[in-house]
Structure 1
Amino acid sequence: MIDWLHIHRFRVARILLGLFLAMWLNGVVFRHAHRLTDGRLIVHAHPYWPFGKGPILPNSHTAQEILLLDLAGHLPIVVSAFFAFLFLLRSYHQAVFRFADRTYHTVSSFYCFSHRGPPIVW
């Protein structure tokens, strides 16, 4: 018999898959660019009605909206880099000696590094 937790997880997985596909479709269909007055080019995606045919559309956003959309577009990269940095900083505790009355531990930072250089391509 399938338990309730398994059914709930399957339902949540389908909702997250649908959300991912909707975000992917939004990024493909509604991606457009705006040029700011200082020359910066902001590329983002959200549902809109296209006003022009060119790759850079007329700007109907305020400067704050454009910068917020640009930040939201780069947020997954920043969050991923933050968690990768936290992963590298964590310490790995390993039991080395085990005696009858106590266990001794060693602490090794950056335990995922093998101290091997990258391969060289000529």
Structure 2
Amino acid sequence: MNMLALTIILPLIGFVLLAFSRGRWSENLSATIGVGSVGLAALVTAFVGMDFFANGKQAFSQPLWTWMSVGNFNIGFNLVLDGLSLTMLSVVTGVGFLIHMFASWYMRGEEGYS
């Protein structure tokens, strides 16, 4: 289930690469990085979903760090996967991928696209 973090990390890497390139790369490379990062996140979501159902639909929680700790009261930052979060993750990454594909086609040739 460590692949769950990739659904967040892959689009973030794509954002950082595109934000710092600022027109230095070709339109094709920019579109490939943008669409590819979100597409890979959608693909990883599909693999995480298959793993979730193969393991008997067990809820999964991966603690990342403790945000706040006061006495015995701790507020942690966790990645949690259950049926509802998997559904939302699938919708967000799937629709996000389709939006990126459409936007890369629609904006092609516009000034400042890459």
Whether these two folds match at TM > 0.5 is no
- Normalized against structure 2, the TM-score is what? 0.27
TM-score by length of 1: 0.26
Query: By percentage of residues, which structure has more helix?
Result: 2
Higher RCO (C-alpha 8 Å, min separation 6): 2
Larger Rg: 1
